[in-house]
Structure 1
């Protein structure tokens, strides 16, 4: 038995009920009938239907073809969307080296200078090189520059570069209410700004790519490349990871880069922890313990071996410390200053020496001082400068001896 049009969900709009013909997508004549949804009475699309000029035009676009093409289009769009998600923006190594050259002496790096006063130059230098910390000239304060943290993933590719401004005297990040000089790359000059802008993600600027996908990874993630033989420890800030690596090198220290940071509780990011197959200890900042416990539970549910170090339960933690939101790095600095004061060094900046050439100095000192002349001499005849002024044209009159200067100015 043949199926009739009436049993289908989508049918040609029936005659009557004020039906109007529409312009045909093929011939343009107002002889086009839409396919409509029987339940709603609405057309599928303005090109899905049949031209009634069957012999002269013959255009016919049935619903089955519409849905077949629609499914194909959706599949293509879904595939393109999936590919877009899989593509990760990478900052090219050569561009990073050009803006943050390794040759720049760390003596100009504010964070480096402070940490040296606590731990000594050799320890800090070794850790800066281990994590590939660079110097950022974007920020300047007290003749010192900021720090550039490279977010280098486990495949050793750079996902992002994070520039931060620090105070070389306190080691603290410069925040709102403090002043810092900010470099204008167009004029190559520094402008005094409020410290509210003291963190900058440079990937888009470095790659000159407005579509740069800011997909972060753990700071220090490149240390997980290859076989991992140490337990893993995770803190929030990059500076804290560096301090902990100096003081407790038996762990591989990673940083999330902020409270939510690199979205480290998503499978895409924590997979590197899973692959490392090592126990993981979380070290939240004060007042962030409950939030990190919730994050730890997500990792536990994913099958990771996770524990948390509750800093708030430790002795010696004051209410003032909690109000400041201190972290494990702050206490390690305090401990090191009290128990290893001999490690701290003061960086002596290399300054250019003044040359002393006695023979040349003697020759220059023998020269008589040159007197400023009060008279202008022309052909050996002394002339008073005031007389010279009298010979020059009077700007207000616009003429010299009856000559119109405006006429002269028009002559090329």
Structure 2
């Protein structure tokens, strides 16, 4: 029977990282005992600036691989065709868990194969007394929960309240210190940027609206009104509208920020960045592009990028993230996407984590 004993805590709890001393550390959980492992086992969410990750000592690391077909060819081996058409003969002992279209394959095997896996989800499987039984049969996955959407009426209500209160959220205050009133008004109206006092005073609301005008989510973040940077101390000031208005059954299903803009001009090339703020500011600097944000570096993936498949795109990853986004874009382009990835920031002396706005701001000053 396949045993999966250790996993990263899936709750929202964060602890002090033993490496960087920030409250961004996720502990490993012993799923059999329902307890955390010792406090040095876990992963820091600050992947670029810290990168600390210590996994449990007992266990096999495996990556989740999407496949087109997986067939048993003998008692000891299976034939796998992954989503990129790569054919591999895999020992059954190296397939640790399987569903109808995905399976976890050990890191040891993947390192010696042609299957792309470095950006995929990974888990640790307990290696004590495991008997791998791979009959390679389809396992019915649980039915997916229907995604939730915010109503247009709710959005309109919040926007009207924001306008009637005649105050600026901190990010808008910062933008007005850098650009003209007309430039800021055009950009904020285009992205439906609003403010509210949810969780924190003068917070900024970022509406995730898709190309069909469905509101998938609304992210709430707090910025410094003078520097325009997100407030991350003593904790990361990020939350969601459905939590603010207490919708406990809301099933979050994100989309790209700015996705609603892709139908406005089919001739414009689409530019993809990580930060919502970066997309808004770059729409002022370079309006010849349609600027869209992933909201996090891990959201540069098929599920969210699928609506852009037929469009010409150029991605601008934050410094230090070029290789990951380039590898992912290569996978996507093999599936029909048209995404180029810029290494512009990698050529600069900016520190890791810097984005396109940091680069253009320095160009503006010089």
Q: Are positions 1:230 and 2:268 aligned together? A: yes
Closer, same or farther: CA 130–226 of 1 in aligned 2, 3 Å: closer
Q: Are positions 1:326 and 2:362 aligned together? A: no
Q: 1:260 aligns with which of 286, 294, 298?
A: 298
Closer, same or farther: CA 130–249 of 1 in aligned 2, 3 Å: same
Q: Are positions 1:168 and 2:203 aligned together? A: no
So what's the TM-score if we normalise by structure 1?
0.51
Find the counterpart in structure 1 of residue 308 from structure 2.
Answer: 273
Using the alignment, how far apart are the partners of 2:362 and 2:205 within structure 1? 25
Shift of 1:111: 0.8
Find the counterpart in structure 1 of residue 192 from structure 2.
Answer: 132
Question: Secondary structure of 2:271's match?
Answer: strand
Shift of 1:93: 2.2
Using the alignment, how far apart are the partners of 2:365 and 2:178 within structure 1? 6
Q: Deviation string for 1:170-223 (max 9, x for gaps)?
A: 0000112xxxxxxxxxxxxxxxxx4x14100222443x4323211100000001
So what's the TM-score if we normalise by structure 2?
0.57
Q: 1:286 aligns with which of 319, 329, 335?
A: 319
Q: 2:242 aligns with which of 199, 203, 208?
A: 203
Structure 2: 5+ residue stretches without partners = 1-138
Find the counterpart in structure 2 of residue 119 from structure 1.
Answer: 179
Alignment of 1:395-406 (within 5 A): none
Closer, same or farther: CA 306–281 of 1 in aligned 2, 3 Å: same
Closer, same or farther: CA 291–169 of 1 in aligned 2, 3 Å: same
- Give the total of aligned pairs: 228
Using the alignment, how far apart are the partners of 2:265 and 2:226 within structure 1? 39
Question: Secondary structure of 1:117's match?
Answer: helix
Larger proportion of strand: 2
Larger proportion of helix: 1
Question: Secondary structure of 2:198's match?
Answer: strand
Q: 1:216 aligns with which of 235, 241, 254?
A: 254
Find the counterpart in structure 2 of residue 375 from structure 1.
Answer: none
Alignment of 1:381-396 (within 5 A): none
Task: Determine if contact 1:135/1:148 at 8 Å carries over to the other structure.
Answer: yes
Closer, same or farther: CA 204–107 of 1 in aligned 2, 3 Å: closer
Question: Secondary structure of 1:285's match?
Answer: coil
Using the alignment, how far apart are the partners of 2:149 and 2:191 within structure 1? 18
Closer, same or farther: CA 302–96 of 1 in aligned 2, 3 Å: same
Question: Secondary structure of 1:108's match?
Answer: coil
Find the counterpart in structure 2 of residue 307 from structure 1.
Answer: 340
Structure 1: 5+ residue stretches without partners = 1-76, 177-193, 339-412
Using the alignment, how far apart are the partners of 1:326 and 1:214 within structure 2? 28
Find the counterpart in structure 2 of residue 410 from structure 1.
Answer: none
Using the alignment, how far apart are the partners of 2:361 and 2:199 within structure 1? 24
Q: Deviation string for 1:131-184 (max 9, x for gaps)?
A: 10110212556xxx12100001111111101010001110000112xxxxxxxx
